[in-house]
Amino acid sequence: MNIQENISLKEYNTFGINVNAKRFVSIDSFYSLQQLLKIEKDVFLISGGSNMLLTKDIDKLVVHINMKGISIDRESNNEIYLTVNAGENWHEFVLWCVSQNYGGLENLSLIPGNVGTCPIQNIGAYGVEVKDTITRVEAIEIQTGKLIEFSNTECEFGYRNSIFKNIQKGKYIITAVSFKLTKNQHKLNSTYGAIETELSLKNIKNPTIKDISDAIITIRQSKLPDPKKIGNSGSFFKNPVISRAHFLNLKEEFPEIPNYPISKDTVKVPAGWLIEKSGFKGKRFGAYGVHEKQALVLVNYGGATGGEIYELAQKIQSTIKNKFSIDLEIEVNII
Ligand code: EPU
């Protein structure tokens, strides 16, 4: 185990924030992770680094989760069960599934991050959430070093949420995730407006999972910044859910407000629209700002500090509160 000192975390977080880890270790096997936890339990985990805003140097031992490998557990004519180690890159895994004609994850193409973190916030895009395919999550309990398995139900998945993000936060290290995917008769999800438009532009009437994946890659590339070029963490805020009465009030003032009914009494409104309406879309403040094509994404053009971006996020929150009486919840972990 090679513990290094004073390592920059710039390459390990998609925001590209340059803070230092006092001590840093990259872990590539389950065994070394268990050994490490015997000597050090107070650790800071980093995997794909795609859902965090680092605002300061990290004093704890930073553990980079880098276990690779995909294994097939069992398969029938129609389904396949796979277990994937936490350090696999998410998008590469999705592309591999698509190339094998394993269906279920194609709508989640091009989401940054690693497989081990996909259950934590139950990643979702274009009408699909990863919870729809996860059968099992395998994790080490930090205090005891024991291996624990969580069924799909035990993960208590919700919109950008799971037990790993709230009641069990910081207790476990996810080491592997198991998925159930389809081998034929795929349940295609192409109803999201932009997908249909993209498919019809290409004149595709009976799409394959590859067609859907390609369409989503095109859509995402057209409005979301590539973290390798412009630092970002995807959607910075959650889409807020407000009461129907509150929504109807807003609709009087803003008849065009996009909305998705959630229940009889609640409505989800897109944070991106609220932020755009408040004049922040495309605003640049030196090295950081709000993305020009998607207002839900805060960006680091290079050299910004996490503190600066966090301040901008708070400014957006207070503006939205004043203008719409809505509390915007930050989706990214602020460290
Ligand atoms: N909108 C604006 N201005 C903007 C952005 C969006 O007016 O700058 C409006 C759009 O016109 C549309 C609505 O907001 O009417 C929704 O926009 P979009 O379809 O782009 O989706 P979103 O709600 O902004 C969510 C997810 C994304 C995911 C997309 C597609 C959350 C917090 N975000 O964004 O997830 O890719 O749907 O499914 O739920 C992520 O979590 O990192 C992420 C990118």
Nearest CA to ligand 1 atom 11: 273
Q: Report the separation in Å between the CA atom of 272 and the middle of ligand 1, taken as the mean of its atom positions.
A: 6
- Residue 101's pLDDT is 97
Residues 112 and 217 in one domain: yes
Residues 6 or more apart whose Cβ sits within 8 Å of residue 142 = 37, 41, 43, 170, 171, 172, 173
- Residue 1's pLDDT is 80
Residues 216 and 93 in one domain: yes
Which CATH number goes with the domain that contains 284?
3.90.78.10
CB count within 10 Å of CB 330 equals 17
Write down the catalytic residue from 23, 50, 129, 160.
160
Q: Report the separation in Å between the CA atom of 296 and the middle of ligand 1, taken as the mean of its atom positions.
A: 7
- Residue 166's pLDDT is 87
Write down the catalytic residue from 109, 162, 235, 278.
235
β-strand pairing of 79-85 with 172-182: antiparallel
- Residue 167's pLDDT is 86
Pocket of ligand 1 (CB under 6 A): 125-126, 224, 234-235, 238-239, 258, 270, 272-273, 276, 281, 294-296, 331
Number of domains in the chain: 3
Q: Report the separation in Å between the CA atom of 56 and the middle of ligand 1, taken as the mean of its atom positions.
A: 29
- Residue 168's pLDDT is 86
Length of the chain: 335
The DSSP result for 196-216, as a single string, is HHHHHHTT-SS--HHHHHHHH
Tens of pLDDT along the chain (335 residues)?
A: 899 999 999 999 999 999 999 999 999 999 999 999 999 999 999 999 999 999 999 999 999 999 999 999 999 999 999 999 999 999 999 999 999 999 999 999 999 999 999 999 999 999 999 999 999 999 999 999 999 999 999 999 999 999 999 888 889 999 999 999 999 999 999 888 789 999 999 999 999 999 999 999 999 999 999 999 999 999 999 999 999 999 999 999 999 999 999 999 999 999 999 999 999 999 999 999 999 999 999 999 999 999 999 999 999 999 999 999 999 999 999 99
Atom number, ligand 1, closest to the C-alpha of residue 331: 32
Residues 74 and 53 in one domain: no
Nearest CA to ligand 1 atom 41: 235
Q: Report the separation in Å between the CA atom of 270 and the middle of ligand 1, taken as the mean of its atom positions.
A: 6
Residues 143 and 246 in one domain: no
CA 172 vs CA 44, 45, 79, 263: distances in Å:
12, 10, 29, 33
- Residue 192's pLDDT is 83
Q: Alpha helices, DSSP H only, in 20-105? A: 30-39, 90-99
Residues 59 and 189 in one domain: no
**Domain end among 223, 256, 283:** 223
Residues 11 and 84 in one domain: no
Residues 296 and 156 in one domain: no
Q: Report the separation in Å between the CA atom of 205 and the middle of ligand 1, taken as the mean of its atom positions.
A: 25
Residues 88 and 61 in one domain: no
Report the candidate in 55, 83, 52, 54 with the shortest Cα–Cα distance to residue 69: 83
| Tokens 């029938």 belong to residue | 76
Atom number, ligand 1, closest to the C-alpha of residue 237: 32
**Domain end among 223, 248, 272:** 223
**Domain end among 173, 191, 223:** 223
Residues 216 and 119 in one domain: yes
Atom number, ligand 1, closest to the C-alpha of residue 281: 8
Residues 239 and 301 in one domain: yes
Note the pTM of the prediction, 2 decimals.
0.93
Nearest CA to ligand 1 atom 43: 235
Atom number, ligand 1, closest to the C-alpha of residue 193: 19
Atom number, ligand 1, closest to the C-alpha of residue 126: 38
Which CATH number goes with the domain that contains 163?
3.30.465.10
Alpha-carbon distance of 322 to 133, in angstroms, equals 40
Residues 122 and 176 in one domain: yes
Which CATH number goes with the domain that contains 34?
3.30.43.10
CA neighbours closer than 13 Å in the CB half-sphere of residue 209: 23
Nearest CA to ligand 1 atom 13: 270
Residues 203 and 271 in one domain: no
Residue 212 domain boundaries: 70-223
**23 tagged catalytic:** no
Q: What angle do CA 211, 216, 218 make, to 5 degrees?
A: 95
